[in-house]
Amino acid sequence: MTNTAYPDLCLWIGGRWIEAGGRTGEPVIDPATGATLGLLPHAGADDVDAAVAAAADGFRLWRRTSAVERSALLRRTADLMRADAGSLAALIALELGKPVVEAVREVETAAGMFDWAAEECRRSYGRIIPPRTPGHRLMALREPVGPVAAFSGWNAPAITPARKIAGALGAGCSIVIKPSEGTPASALFIARALAESGLPAGVANMLFGNPGAVAERLLEAEAIRMVSFTGSIPVGKHLAALATRTMKRGVFELGGHAPVLVFPDVDVDAVARGAAAAKFRSSGQICTSPTRFYVHHSIHDRFAAAFAEAATAIRVGDPFDSATQMGPVQNARRLAAVEALVEDARRNGATVAAGGARIDRPGFFYRPTVLTGVTDACRAASEEPFGPLALVASFRDADEAVGLANRLSLGLASYVFTRDLALADRLSAEIECGNVVVNHWVVSHPETPFGGIKDSGIGLEGGTEGFQAFEQVKFVSQAPL
């Protein structure tokens, strides 16, 4: 750990670091011990209004800043994040409970978001349309949409804020972002890197507080022209409804319950070992976490046994121990939720092949858990566990596998394992989700589009498509006098 001290927490509005003062607040909890790390001040209505006003002023300046200048600032931010990667990784491990080895990789991915936006903002091209009338000019111009209200969760405390901030700033927008109150220091680290990079006051602002009150105040503001939200489906639907009242465009990345289809022509043991590493990364608290494992009936028992063995072998412990492969879940609510899903599955006839219990130590630790014999009567079959819980069931043919994959109203990520590329192509076309991953476990990169369909979201983040979400097209038709 580069710096073991937990920083003082604050708001960032109009270039000013605003401490608690007389504001209400809440404690930030270390999930590995249950101890209080610090006190986070809450933004009041006046703070939200000040952030909106600062973003409106910042937008008027930032939209006129050249793409070359924006690119250079974003690159400086990425460089600063990498230069002190150990400190940010330590904050992620402390607030989220993610093993520090994984947290270092998250820092690199988050810095990569700024690299990508720095590159893409120099490639934001309009187009010239051939005119019907000689001497006329028809132009489609790309412009920043305006001040953005953004909301990010605690499960990717550097990546998600970085993706939203970098995309907005690269496109020429200003932003007011409310990261999670569970992982504030990780997000504030990025804010400080932006400030040190020379970002003009008000172009980016960071608030914490009562999520509902802050969100409603932001989305009521006429100056805010777009909302970017990562979080739960119920909250996302509520914010989408609020956004339509003032005709704000929106990008919503919501929940998942990712299916994994495993066919009999694979190396069963190798896929099972990879499945355990992927499933229990960050304690399964990833929206694309592979969760519903549908395995061909001819290899089901072998896969389930190998998967359970690999899950049992995962080393759970202190996030700062280099030998740790999985830490705690982030909060007591998640621990209780996973425990309730497992108990419900037991009552409905499922078998616990691995794990299935809390770990008797301080903090919010739960064993890596694999369930077999899960039926539709089990809540876990339909509810995203968002924790260290995997389900294994069987299918007889590709048609049944597709039906199982598509049975829920969710469609964020899915995984397919087969050597038959024709089958892989068919499944990629028929599975209803925004991201299909074939024969490996990596869903997204800074340069690739990411988003869900159905109840898993609207719009895209990342890649060229995600960058363009922060832009609007203006058509200009010009004739000579």
- In the DSSP assignment, the letter for residue 445 is -
Quote the Cα angle for 378-381-382, to 5°. Answer: 105
**Rounded-to-integer distance, Cα 299 and Cα 338, Å:** 27
Are 165 and 201 a contacting pair, CB within 8 Å? no
Collapsed DSSP state (helix, strand, coil) of residue 334:
helix
Q: Which of 287, 384, 433, 471 is catalytic?
A: 287
- Name the catalytic one among 253, 384, 461, 471: 253
Cβ atoms of residues 201 and 230 within 8 Å: no
Annotated catalytic residue 287: yes
Do strands 175-178 and 148-151 pair parallel, antiparallel, or not at all (unpaired)? parallel
Question: Residues 434, 271: contact at Cβ < 8 Å?
Answer: no
- Contact (Cβ atoms closer than 8 angstroms) between residue 132 and residue 429: no
Cβ proximity of 204 and 191 under 8 Å: yes
d(Cα 184, Cα 39) in Å, to the nearest integer? 10
H helices of 318-460, in order, are 332-347, 398-405, 421-430
CA separation for the pair 460, 79 (Å, rounded): 26
What is the three-class DSSP state of 8?
Answer: coil
What is the SS3 assignment for 36-95?
Answer: EEEEEECCCHHHHHHHHHHHHHHHHHHCCCCHHHHHHHHHHHHHHHHHCHHHHHHHHHHH
Longest dimension (CA), the chain: 81
3-state secondary structure of 215: helix
Answer yes or no: 253 catalytic.
Answer: yes
Coil/strand/helix, residue 471: strand
The vertex-127 CA angle with 126 and 130, nearest 5°, equals 160
The residues that are catalytic are: 253, 287
